[in-house]
Structure 1
Amino acid sequence: MKKIYILIIILAFISCGTSDKQENENLLTSKDKNVVTVTNTQFKLEKMKLGKLSEQEFSNVINVNGIIDVPPQNKANVSTFLGGFIKNTPLLVGDEVKKGQLLVTIENTEFVELQQQYAEITEQLNFLKSEYNRQKTLYEENITSKKNYLKAESSYKSALAKSNGLRQKLKMMNINPTSVEQGNFTSQINLYAPINGTVSKVNVNNGSYVAPSDEILEIVDRDHLHLELTVFEKDILKIKKGQLVMFQIPEASDKIFKAEVHLVGNTINETNRTVKVHAHLDDEHANLIVGMFAEAKIINNSKISSALPTEAVGSIGNDYYVLVLHNKDANNFTFEKVKLEIGKQNEDYIEVLNSNDLKGKEILVRGAFMLLNEG
């Protein structure tokens, strides 16, 4: 019986010892959850890197869309005042043209008729003017009636008005009125470039008929490219002249371009509740094409804050952590997980609100994301 009691006491002692050992092991494991150890070899192979908090700029941004455009005076639609058939159009889309350069030749017999009318009425003017002066003199001397005088005056001034009107029409058609007065008629008119630029549209072929309302060519002068942005009504009061705009052409390039808000519209589009915002490019001669779609960010209220690179921060559940160097020896790097309070983010950095906890400390800024997610 005595032996049995001794055995029970020994078993109880062993049980208590095991329980204490397990409790100590559990406490050790709990502490180790916040510690990550990396060997020197792993550190080098994974190209890990230590760093510290840095000061970075964070901004409120307004995301908008827009297009590349030019001012109205840098775009010209070429059309004709009178319809006709295309006789010659040597230009193609992309051709550079200078102001005054021949663009297209149009032919129509109506052009001849118009010149004939001008020549005839102009020829009559000398006679009508002479008759008007004669009747005026006779009327002033009470030799003829007022009726005859007024009739002569009306005929002369009516013919003069018609002549002047036809003369202006011929000038608009690029036909020299003096040449027509000398009997030199033409069935063709030439259209010339109104501005310097590049041909962006050609809507005709040789032999095709064009009416006065038809657009024959479009010319765009790319010397003053700008960004035409569409901003929703809810954001428009945040937009001010002089704000920085960062934009990309997603379909063409990853390059980021800069612009500056120049004009903010004061009329809301009733259909989609948006306002137009005009921005000047930093580089007006950038390799961009009118009509390109742009994704832009308008920078609003920037500030400088303590931050860490995005790749230095890992998330566990809804919380964010970094690895702070706790100890370093010949074989290992020992890091401690530290919880972060984060603020604003951009493509490269995350704002750290509890920066006082990390000031002066070395932090794993490259390779931490993998270790934190493994943990």
Structure 2
Amino acid sequence: MKLKPIVKAILLAHLAAGSFATHTAIAQSAEQVSPQVEEKGPNNGRLLKEQDLTVELAIFEDGMPPEFRVFATTNGLPIAPEDIDINVKLTRLGDGIDDINFYAENDYLRGDMEIYEPHSFAVTVTAKYNGKTYQWDYDNFEGRTLINSLIADKMQIITENVEPQQFNETLAVFGTMTLAPNAVTHVSARFAGEVKELHVKLGQKVKKGQLLMTIESNESLQPYTLYAPIDGQVTKQNVTLGQQANAQTLLTISDTSKLVAELSVFPLDVQKVQVGAKVLLNITGLDAPIVTYITDSLFELNSDQAKVFRAEVDNRQGRLNAGQFFKAEIELDSYQVPMAVKADGLQSFRDFTVVYAKIGEQYEVRMLELGRKAGPWVEVLSGIPLGTEYVALNSYLIKADIEKSGASHDH
């Protein structure tokens, strides 16, 4: 018994764990069937023969959407296309039946509908000629595999459904926290004198009106007091007890309850960013991003030749500090798309980008036309119906299984 490589590896793991009896049925269901040998005709189509009738069913797609063409002969002589009636039914995995009729054109019969991808179906060909009916059935599968659900679980094949999604296009940037404008107040002496008492210290939080220090005037020798003009934190202390207070700044008090996130946006992206845009700030040490909005921008470029956009940040809990670096995502646009799939589920197949649709325990390629991307999602314009279950994670395992089985594109 020949097993697909991935299936074989998982079964060996079960054998090592002593669980062969439980999974014997799985091994049998994974057995690989040898591909049917087919005979090709002069138009590179499949030859179907019965008695003296030969029908060549070819897919034609030279500069046009794929379609069937039929060339018929009897005893080696061409049959006029108007003298034979052909019908082809394509039974697709999970997508119903394509019923194709034919009409005469030149020296062949031409199918009346496009053969859309994937070209994977069970084929039934019915021919009526000279009062007789002929029928052929065969499988033409590509990009398809069968994996038992227990094995798929072991392989961690995760599926989701094709659904509408809210897209949030974002721009990743870096930035720095700064104090808000007018958040800093410098405290100086009203009269020159000696500092007699200091009632606060560097780093201490103060309230507006709180006593800061007592100074003895050099001229009157009378003490006077200084009080905090705002709520905030003592961020600089330039004086000590006994020191002369003249015109210098004695204390600096900064209101740290509100900070400003300065976001550096490089010239290529500047036109994408608008005032009012939503911003997610990712701060090291915080469990969740901080949500804020751009309020304005600076006129001058920074040292990296980037334009600086600013967003206010609530810091009443004191979790952030001026000078702190961060990563951020600026929301550029937000909209709903009718269909989307996870980007992690995308794979390449021939010249297409695909996902693997799951129908029961079978998986098959679905060729996609893709649109916009946002975060983990990619918009789907066509190629798969809404609601289809598809492989969203570990789809590379399905691809490997199909490639090992040698499924080919039959034209």
Determine if the TM-score, normalized by the shorter chain, exceeds 0.5.
Answer: yes
The Cα shift of 1:202 comes to 4.0
Tell me what 2:218 maps to: 112
Partners of 1:342 and 1:287 lie apart in 2 by 45
The answer on whether the counterparts of 2:341 and 2:392 sit within 8 Å (CA) in structure 1 is: yes
Among candidates 353, 361, 365, match of residue 381 of structure 2: 353
* Pair 1:237–1:363, CA change in 2 (3 A): closer
Partners of 1:106 and 1:317 lie apart in 2 by 85
Among candidates 34, 48, 51, match of residue 143 of structure 2: 34
Name the SS of the counterpart of 2:330 in structure 1: strand
The Cα shift of 1:195 comes to 0.2
The answer on whether the counterparts of 1:65 and 1:230 sit within 8 Å (CA) in structure 2 is: yes
Among candidates 198, 207, 211, match of residue 98 of structure 1: 207
The answer on whether the counterparts of 1:89 and 1:206 sit within 8 Å (CA) in structure 2 is: yes
Of 299-308 and 228-237, more deviation after overlay is shown by 228-237
Partners of 1:323 and 1:347 lie apart in 2 by 21
The answer on whether the counterparts of 2:192 and 2:218 sit within 8 Å (CA) in structure 1 is: no
Give yes or no for the alignment of 1:293 onto 2:325.
yes
Tell me what 2:295 maps to: 262
The Cα shift of 1:191 comes to 3.0
Partners of 2:165 and 2:400 lie apart in 1 by 26
Tell me what 2:37 maps to: 24
Q: Which amino acid aligns with 2:357?
A: V
Task: Give CA deviations for 1:15-70 in whole Å, capped at 9, x if unaligned.
Answer: xxxxxx99829999x97661232212123334544332122222443333333344
Partners of 2:190 and 2:168 lie apart in 1 by 53
Q: Which is greater in Rg?
A: 1
Among candidates 230, 241, 244, match of residue 275 of structure 2: 241
* Pair 1:210–1:61, CA change in 2 (3 A): farther
The Cα shift of 1:199 comes to 2.8
Task: Give CA deviations for 1:296-346 in whole Å, capped at 9, x if unaligned.
Answer: 2222233322211244334579964311024x2xxxx11012233434334
- Higher RCO, 1 or 2 (CA under 8 Å, sep at least 6)? 1
Tell me what 2:310 maps to: 278
Partners of 1:31 and 1:83 lie apart in 2 by 98
Question: Share of identical aligned residues, percent?
Answer: 24
The answer on whether the counterparts of 1:74 and 1:195 sit within 8 Å (CA) in structure 2 is: no
Name the SS of the counterpart of 2:152 in structure 1: helix
The answer on whether the counterparts of 1:36 and 1:337 sit within 8 Å (CA) in structure 2 is: no
Q: Which amino acid aligns with 1:359?
A: L
Q: Which amino acid aligns with 2:320?
A: I
The Cα shift of 1:99 comes to 0.9
Name the SS of the counterpart of 2:276 in structure 1: coil
Of 56-65 and 83-92, more deviation after overlay is shown by 83-92
The Cα shift of 1:287 comes to 5.0
Give yes or no for the alignment of 1:302 onto 2:315.
no
Partners of 1:70 and 1:261 lie apart in 2 by 16
Partners of 1:226 and 1:196 lie apart in 2 by 18
The Cα shift of 1:252 comes to 2.8
Partners of 2:157 and 2:193 lie apart in 1 by 74
Q: Give the helix-richer structure, 1 or 2.
A: 1
Among candidates 357, 365, 374, match of residue 337 of structure 1: 365
Mapping of residues 113-262 of structure 1, within 5 Å:
113=219, 115=220, 185-186=221-222, 188-206=223-241, 212-214=247-249, 216-249=250-283, 251-253=284-286, 255-262=288-295
The answer on whether the counterparts of 2:196 and 2:242 sit within 8 Å (CA) in structure 1 is: yes
* Pair 1:337–1:207, CA change in 2 (3 A): farther
The answer on whether the counterparts of 2:169 and 2:374 sit within 8 Å (CA) in structure 1 is: no
Partners of 1:112 and 1:312 lie apart in 2 by 79
Tell me what 2:159 maps to: 50
* Pair 1:50–1:72, CA change in 2 (3 A): closer
* Pair 1:78–1:50, CA change in 2 (3 A): same
Tell me what 2:357 maps to: 324
* Pair 1:248–1:373, CA change in 2 (3 A): farther
Name the SS of the counterpart of 1:353 in structure 2: strand
* Pair 1:274–1:51, CA change in 2 (3 A): closer
* Pair 1:246–1:25, CA change in 2 (3 A): farther
* Pair 1:22–1:310, CA change in 2 (3 A): closer
Partners of 1:94 and 1:83 lie apart in 2 by 25
The Cα shift of 1:194 comes to 1.2
Partners of 2:312 and 2:141 lie apart in 1 by 57
Task: Give CA deviations for 1:210-261 in whole Å, capped at 9, x if unaligned.
Answer: 66344x4332324434433333344333333322122212x33352121122
Q: Give the strand-richer structure, 1 or 2.
A: 2
Partners of 1:96 and 1:64 lie apart in 2 by 32
Structure 1: gaps spanning 5 or more residues: 1-20, 116-184
C-alpha RMSD over aligned residues: 3.8
